[in-house]
Amino acid sequence: MKYKYVLFDLDGTLLNTNKLIIESFKYTLKEHMNIYLEDSEILKYFGEPLMVTLKRFSEEKSEEMFNTYIKYNESIHDERVEVFGDVDKVLEEVSKLSCKAAVVTSKRKVLAKRGLELFDLLKYFEDVVAYEDTNKHKPDPEPILEALARLGAEKGEALMIGDSEFDIKCAYNAGVDSVFVSWSEAAGHQDCSIQPDYVIKDISELIYILKSK
């Protein structure tokens, strides 16, 4: 098989956290800035590190907003998170193909692992490269390069799966092939100037890509 290592984004790719993220942003911005954003305005920031997004609204209040967001987000997390479709079955199949998998996310590690553990998915991953693990974040290549180093993988052997422009650009900048998931809520709200190598409509289609020569 061409791809022996599979890197997954988390939010919007494996886990449906769309409502969680949108609600957390709205609550935070109302509390600190007294502003209301439409969902479409928030969707364009999906996949971007939280602090980067908050600084777009206020450098001065970004730290305070970060703390508010995290506290509120964690308080509603377990009730707002769902798993997409047959993710568990596909991850099991990836494992049976002897592919090594890792999560590459801009989320904090503690919450990333918590989300995976809610659905008993953490067992499928060799590692979780999260916000704390790199100095630079998506779309910079550093998170993917860190994952490759941990897995002992070559760029040509790896595939990145994600739902945002930040995932696809990160893969492109790292020299890794990419898959865009078309169930992304961010689709149509973000920059798509860099095209993925593959687009899938269902997570099960990933298996066909991995089995291709």
Catalytic residues: 9
If residue 103 lies in a helix (H) or strand (E), which one and from where to where? Answer: strand 100-104
One DSSP character per residue, 137-197 reads -TTSSHHHHHHHHHHT--GGGEEEEESSHHHHHHHHHHT-EEEEETT-TTTTSS---SPPS
- In degrees and rounded to multiples of 5, residue 30 shows phi and psi of -70, -40
> What six digits make up the tokens of 42?
């928030």
Output the 3-class SS for 12-35.
CCCEECHHHHHHHHHHHHHHHHCC
